[in-house]
């Protein structure tokens, strides 16, 4: 029996691959502070549950393949408030942002097609691109440079005749980088000049901490055929389990080809669409409160990291992640050791090792991604465990 080369080319998630060690550690009575997965503990707005409780259709029917009007209209209204209007047929509902990305890669890539992506990047981009036969052409960044990437010369270096698209997360996962208006303009101009798709994975749009206006690649009228927005309710409304995302584009040919995949998987879950539409009725007070909480958590982690000798980290401006270079030989080995050989009064900590966030071999070996999704007191304890773990690991691995 054979396994496809495409499947073999994909990797396990760096956020989840240490799960067996975590299970074993918990079985031994250890408490693990999880900084490895971006699962917020912010309560999902009650609108979601009210909508489900009030759903009284006698038959739970298939939804329309492009998505239900109630949800599409809610997303339209959301973008109207950002000053950008999309027609109903320019929004396709998907099973989370993940399916949106998978359908998009299948629609724009051929064997050997390339996508320019700044690294470190969301590791599942690897799977989506490779499963469509594509290749990631990385723009390499550094911890010392704050992981910034939107420079004309870097885009030119990555571009060739096989390039189909530029893709980035803004605000960034895993780096927390928020693109400035000038940086967005640089990417937009480059994509237009070279007739590339420019894919903005914007699922963390609300989580910016410097007072910036909410930005989108859709704000450039000249990119009507180039711009594709990936969106989701998962992080915006702390509703990861709803599995509701969207692809938004004005490109008519792309829409028609995306629709083929929407029809092939029949429809997105009806109840989740109805409930997710209700989430868009939350007011600005909700986002202000959530931003304030995440900023506190960011500040806690950043301050603690700066106190650890040898750590290289820059303050992230958005999302709820940060990357840091640690004074250890290998973050994978360090993480395994934290779960199998280390504890402090029965406590240990998990993060996501950085190597899996890179396409360039050998990059990120001593870097980690931290998801600051725990309450402040728990984050303080987790960061203290990280500091103690680094000290003891280096003492035993000289």
Closest by Cα among 245, 260, 135, 252 to 201: 245
CA dist., res. 161 & res. 114, Å (int): 9
Domains 5-43+285-396 and 60-279 belong to one CATH topology: no
d(CA 57, CA 54) in angstroms, rounded, equals 9
| pLDDT tens, position by position, 251-266 | 999 999 999 999 999 9
Strands 114-119 and 163-169: parallel
Task: Give the count of beta carbons closer than 10 Å to the beta carbon of residue 60.
Answer: 10
Residue 154's SS3 state is: helix
pLDDT at 10: 84
pLDDT digits (tens, 9 = 90+) for 54-102: 999 999 999 999 999 999 999 999 999 999 999 999 999 999 999 999 9
Query: What residues does each domain of the chain span?
Result: 5-43+285-396, 60-279
Instruction: Output the pLDDT for position 14.
Output: 72
Which has the closest alpha carbon to 30: 293, 339, 398, 251?
339
Mean pLDDT, the chain, whole residue set: 96
pTM passes above 0.85 = yes
Predicted confidence at residue 146, as pLDDT, reads: 96
In this structure, the number of other CB atoms found within 10 A of the CB of residue 332 comes to 19
DSSP 181-204: HHHHHHHHHHHHHHT-EEEEE-TT
Given a cut of 80, whether residue 209 has pLDDT beyond it is yes
In terms of Cα–Cα distance, which of 144, 158, 215 is closest to 184?
A: 215
Q: Is 54 left (phi over 0), alpha (psi -120 to 50) or beta?
A: alpha
**Which element (helix H / strand E) includes 227?**
strand 227-232
Q: Are 199 and 226 in contact (CB under 8 A)?
A: no
Q: What is the pLDDT at residue 15?
A: 67
- pLDDT score at 318: 97
- Encode burial over 113-136: b for 16+ CB neighbours within 10 A, e otherwise: bbbbbbbbbbbbbbbbbbbbbbbb
State the Cα–Cα distance between residues 347 and 349, nearest whole angstrom: 7
- Give the CATH class of 5-43+285-396: alpha beta
pLDDT tens per residue across span 334-367: 999 999 999 999 999 999 999 999 999 999 999 9
Confidence class of residue 179 from pLDDT cuts 50, 70 and 90? very high
Can you tell me the mean pLDDT for 108-135? 97
Question: Tell me, which fold does domain 60-279 have in CATH?
Answer: 3.40.640
- pLDDT above 90 covers a percentage of the chain that reads 94
């Amino acid at each position: 029996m054979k396994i496809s080369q495409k499947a073999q080319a994909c990797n396990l998630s760096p956020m989840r691959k240490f799960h067996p060690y975590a299970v074993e550690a918990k079985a031994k009575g250890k408490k693990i502070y999880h900084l490895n997965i971006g699962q917020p503990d912010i309560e999902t707005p009650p609108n979601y549950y009210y909508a489900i409780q009030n759903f009284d259709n006698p038959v739970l029917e298939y939804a329309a393949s492009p998505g239900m009007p109630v949800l599409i209209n809610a997303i339209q209204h959301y973008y109207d408030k950002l000053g950008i209007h999309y027609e109903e047929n320019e929004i396709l509902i998907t099973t989370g942002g993940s399916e949106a990305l998978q359908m998009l890669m299948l629609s724009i890539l051929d064997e050997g097609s390339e996508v320019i992506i700044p690294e470190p990047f969301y590791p599942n981009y690897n799977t989506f691109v490779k499963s469509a036969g594509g290749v990631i052409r990385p723009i390499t960044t550094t911890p010392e440079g704050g992981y910034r990437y939107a420079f004309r010369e870097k885009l030119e270096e990555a571009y060739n005749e096989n390039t189909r698209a530029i893709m980035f997360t803004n605000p960034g996962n895993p780096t927390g980088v928020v693109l400035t208006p000038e940086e967005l303009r640089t990417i937009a101009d480059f994509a237009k000049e070279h007739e590339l798709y420019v894919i903005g994975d914007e699922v963390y749009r609300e989580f910016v901490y410097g007072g910036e206006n909410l930005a989108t690649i859709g704000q450039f009228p000249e990119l009507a055929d180039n711009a594709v927005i990936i969106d989701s309710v998962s992080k915006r409304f702390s509703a990861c389990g709803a599995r509701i995302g969207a692809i938004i584009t004005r490109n008519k040919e792309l829409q028609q080809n995306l629709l083929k995949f929407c029809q092939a998987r029949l429809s997105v879950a009806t109840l989740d669409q109805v409930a997710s539409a209700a989430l868009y009725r939350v007011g600005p007070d909700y986002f202000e409160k959530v931003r304030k909480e995440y900023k506190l958590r960011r500040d806690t982690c950043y301050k603690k990291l700066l106190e650890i000798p040898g750590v290289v980290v820059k303050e992230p401006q958005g999302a709820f992640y940060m990357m840091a270079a640690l004074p250890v030989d290998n973050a994978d080995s360090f993480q395994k050791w934290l779960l199998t050989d280390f504890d402090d009064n029965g406590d240990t900590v998990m993060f996501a090792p950085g190597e899996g966030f890179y396409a360039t071999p050998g990059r990120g070996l001593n870097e980690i991604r931290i998801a600051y999704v725990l309450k402040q007191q728990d984050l303080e304890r987790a960061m203290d465990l990280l500091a103690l773990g680094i000290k003891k690991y280096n003492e035993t691995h000289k």
